[in-house]
């Protein structure tokens, strides 16, 4: 009997290595249609930042090249997947569609609608892990509930067995007659000339090289350096993990857990799984505080404070460096994300949802689950949240995590000649030092938009609803 055609619907699992849905489709040896749907709701100049569009275009080209090396190719279509996937299934006479299970409310709604239509047409849908190391619902407490706190989640996570990673299939037999649109480019996606110059190269080949380089050169010192803003101490794999050009399971399995650096890196991959579990279980937290007691706080909306923050002109060098790194590279160091998010929510009392949306749009790794977890942590409203009374001081954070000022001098070059002693609070510079450094506060660089000590008092009153 001839084997039925199977579709592998790629979304944010743009790789060949360790891809359970792809293996399920190719293992039988029958015809396979590797499909990517350009959904205008997600992929458009107005919705995704140029950095993200650039990464996506790279990743699709690399996936196509990898499939061609195995005798196949990527089939690209444009439109609403709820229409397109069932239409392609009918066109190629597919018997099944394989996909990797996603955790966001958007993806879950979309996938449920596609599944209903496919099953009504007699096409089976098989959902596989591959986006997280462990899928939502697989790490639960003894009574089957989802953990609200990271540490017990991590302990339970570590107790479960883990399947070995599956190698990429040797061949992928794609029927010749299936038409495809051209692969998208930065230009066709409407981002030409707007991609930040520091944007990383996307795709499985570049991602695998990044992972190998990190494991060989930096992972052993990750534990000591991950918080230092001026050092290349982290993996920069977040976009690769978000688009699935690196398998989180394969990355985890390559770590040597006896090395402290590797062990703490493993902990971050597990944070990623944790936030995926939390969002899948409580999808409403995308827009609502996880902690019900902190709902309906009178946050500020858009306005001059939010503009100064996102444009990197708050007058606090560490915050401005962070926001300018985001603009220049579509990426921001984790410590900078924590300090900058805290500043928006606690010093400026601006709604964390505005910060969340700004990050999601501009970060090349913008990820609904991890971004929401990070923002709710910073606002003090989430799981494991930083309590509202713990408020980062942007000056001491700068002094601690950018002691030589490499980070600030790189992204805020107008302060390059300010001595270390004053770099994180340049408004305190004596006039002679400021002259020597060529900086007049209020002209060459802004005066601080708030006084941190006063802002701190105001934040405490705000959270206590005084
Ligand atoms: C306010 C805020 C917003 C954030 N938004 C995002 C986001 O949109 N997308 C995103 O991938 N990460 C987000 N993070 C988490 C973290 O900042 C980034 O994953 C990290 O900076 C990416 O750099 P890296 O790959 O060099 O990380 P590494 O330190 O090398 O960590 C390795 C991987 O572990 C995962 N990871 C690390 N830290 C976290 C964390 N705190 N939560 C969840 N996963 C983590 C990431 O996938 C990361 O690539 C956010 C954190 C905060 C505080």
**Is the minimum distance from the CB of 388 to ligand 1 under 6 angstroms?**
no
**Cα–Cα distance for residue pair 344/379, rounded to 1 Å:** 9
pLDDT one-digit tens code per residue, 150-159: 999 999 999 9
pLDDT at 320 over 50: yes
Residue 187 located in a structural domain: no
Residue 375 Cβ < 6 Å to ligand 1: yes
C-alpha 172 to ligand 1 mean position (Å) = 33
User: Token pair 């949306």 is at which residue?
Assistant: 357
100 and 152 inside one domain:
no
For residues 75 and 142, membership in a common domain is answered with no
Count, residues in the chain: 466
- Within 13 Å and on the Cβ side, how many CA atoms surround 333? 26
CATH number at residue 31: 3.40.50.620
The CA distance from 277 to 148, in Å, is 9
Task: Give the pTM.
Answer: 0.97
Residue 272 Cβ inside 6 Å of ligand 1? The answer reads yes
Tell me which range, 11-20, 37-46, 192-201, is most confidently predicted by mean pLDDT.
11-20
Residue 439 main-chain phi, psi, to 5 deg = -125, 125
Query: What tens digit of pLDDT does each residue of 11-28 get?
Result: 999 999 999 999 999 998
Nearest CA to ligand 1 atom 36: 268
Q: What pLDDT score does 230 carry?
A: 96
DSSP H or E segment with residue 277: helix 260-281
Q: Is 334 a catalytic residue?
A: yes
Number of domain units in the chain: 3
Q: What range does the domain containing 271 cover?
A: 132-162+205-281
Contact indicator for 63, 118 with CB cutoff of 8 Å: no
Q: Do 125 and 97 share a structural domain?
A: yes
> Is pLDDT of 384 > 90?
no
Tokens of 312: 């990197």
- Asked whether residue 346 carries a pLDDT value surpassing 90, the answer given is yes
pLDDT, average across residues 169-198: 94
Could you tell me how far CA 19 lies from the centroid of its own chain?
A: 19
Q: Is any ligand 1 atom within 6 A of the Cβ of residue 374? A: yes
Task: Kindly state the average pLDDT of the residues 392-408.
Answer: 98
Q: Average pLDDT, stretch 441-448?
A: 98
Say yes or no: 395 and 349 in one domain: yes
Residues 271 and 367 grouped into a single domain: no
Given 233, 260, 281, the domain boundary residue is: 281
Q: Is residue 188 part of a domain?
A: no
Q: Token pair for residue 193?
A: 């000339």
- Split at pLDDT 50, 70, 90, the class of 73 is very high
pLDDT of residue 45: 66
Last residue within a domain, chosen from 215, 246, 281: 281
> Measured in angstroms, how far is the CA atom of residue 150 from the centroid of ligand 1?
15
Q: Which two tokens stand for residue 71?
A: 């005798």
Query: Which pLDDT belongs to residue 2?
Result: 55
Does the active-site annotation cover 399?
Answer: no
- Residues 77-93 have a mean pLDDT of 98
Is the pLDDT score of 118 beyond 60?
yes
The residue behind tokens 């609608």 is 113
Same domain, 302 and 415: yes
Q: How many angstroms does the Cα of residue 31 sit away from the middle of ligand 1?
A: 38
The average confidence (pLDDT) of the chain is 96
Of residues 352 and 43, more confidently modeled: 352
Kindly report the number of other CB atoms within 10 A of residue 391's CB atom.
21
Q: Residue 167 domain-assigned?
A: no
Q: How far apart are CA 297 and CA 349, in angstroms?
A: 10
Question: Which of 130, 150, 183 is the last residue in one of the domains?
Answer: 130
pLDDT digits (tens, 9 = 90+) for 417-427: 999 999 999 99
Burial grade of 93 (CB within 10 A; 0-12, 13-18, 19 or more):
exposed
- Residue pair 98/22 in contact by the 8 Å Cβ criterion: yes
Distance CA 140, CA 153 (A): 8
CA 223/CA 202 separation, integer angstroms: 26
Closest CA to 35 of 97, 118, 103, 93: 97
Inter-CA distances, 22 with 10, 93, 171, Å: 9, 18, 11
Q: Is the pLDDT of residue 1 over 50?
A: no
Calculate the CA dihedral of residues 269, 212, 59, 4 and round it to 10 degrees: -80
pLDDT digits (tens, 9 = 90+) for 265-306: 999 999 999 999 999 999 999 999 999 999 999 999 999 999
């Amino acid at each position: 009997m001839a084997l039925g055609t199977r579709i592998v619907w790629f979304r944010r699992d743009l790789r060949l290595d360790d891809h359970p849905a792809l293996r399920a489709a190719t293992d039988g040896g029958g015809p396979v249609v590797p499909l990517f749907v350009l959904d205008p709701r997600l992929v458009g100049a107005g919705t995704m930042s140029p950095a993200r569009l650039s990464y996506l275009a790279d990743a699709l080209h690399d996936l196509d090249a990898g499939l061609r090396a195995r005798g196949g190719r990527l089939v690209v279509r444009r439109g609403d997947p709820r229409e397109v996937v069932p239409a392609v299934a009918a066109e190629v006479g597919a018997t099944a569609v394989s996909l990797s299970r996603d955790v966001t409310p958007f993806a879950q709604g979309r996938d449920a609608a596609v599944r209903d239509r496919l099953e009504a047409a007699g096409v089976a849908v098989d959902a596989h892990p591959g986006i997280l190391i462990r899928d939502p619902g697989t790490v639960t407490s003894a009574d089957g509930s989802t953990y609200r706190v990271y540490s017990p989640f991590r302990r339970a996570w570590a107790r479960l067995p883990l399947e070995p990673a599956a190698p990429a299939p040797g061949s992928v037999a794609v029927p010749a007659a299936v038409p495809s649109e051209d692969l998208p480019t930065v230009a066709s996606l409407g981002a030409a000339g707007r991609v930040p110059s520091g944007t990383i190269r996307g795709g499985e080949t570049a991602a695998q090289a990044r992972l190998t380089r990190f494991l060989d050169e930096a992972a052993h010192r990750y534990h000591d350096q991950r918080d230092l803003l001026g050092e290349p101490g982290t993996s920069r794999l977040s976009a690769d993990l978000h688009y699935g050009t690196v398998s989180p399971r394969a990355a985890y399995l390559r770590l040597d857990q006896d090395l402290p650096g590797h062990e703490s890196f493993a902990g971050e991959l597990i944070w990623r799984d944790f936030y995926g579990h939390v969002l899948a279980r409580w999808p409403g937290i995308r827009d609502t505080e996880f902690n019900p007691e902190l709902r309906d706080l009178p946050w500020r909306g858009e306005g001059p404070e939010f503009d100064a923050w996102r444009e990197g002109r708050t007058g606090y060098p560490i915050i401005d460096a962070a926001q300018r790194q985001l603009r220049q590279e579509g990426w921001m160091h984790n410590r900078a994300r924590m300090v900058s998010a805290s500043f928006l929510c606690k010093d400026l009392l601006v709604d964390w949802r505005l910060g969340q949306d700004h990050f999601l749009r501009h970060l090349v790794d913008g990820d609904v689950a991890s971004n929401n977890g990070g923002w709710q942590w910073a606002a003090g409203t989430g799981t494991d949240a930083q309590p509202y009374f713990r408020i980062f001081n942007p000056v001491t954070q700068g002094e601690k995590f950018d002691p030589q000022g490499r980070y600030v001098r790189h992204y805020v070059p107008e302060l390059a000649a300010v001595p270390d002693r004053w770099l994180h609070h340049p408004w305190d510079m004596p006039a002679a030092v400021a002259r020597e450094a060529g900086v007049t506060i209020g002209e060459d660089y802004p005066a601080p938009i708030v006084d941190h000590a006063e802002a701190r008092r105001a934040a405490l009153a705000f959270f206590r609803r005084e």
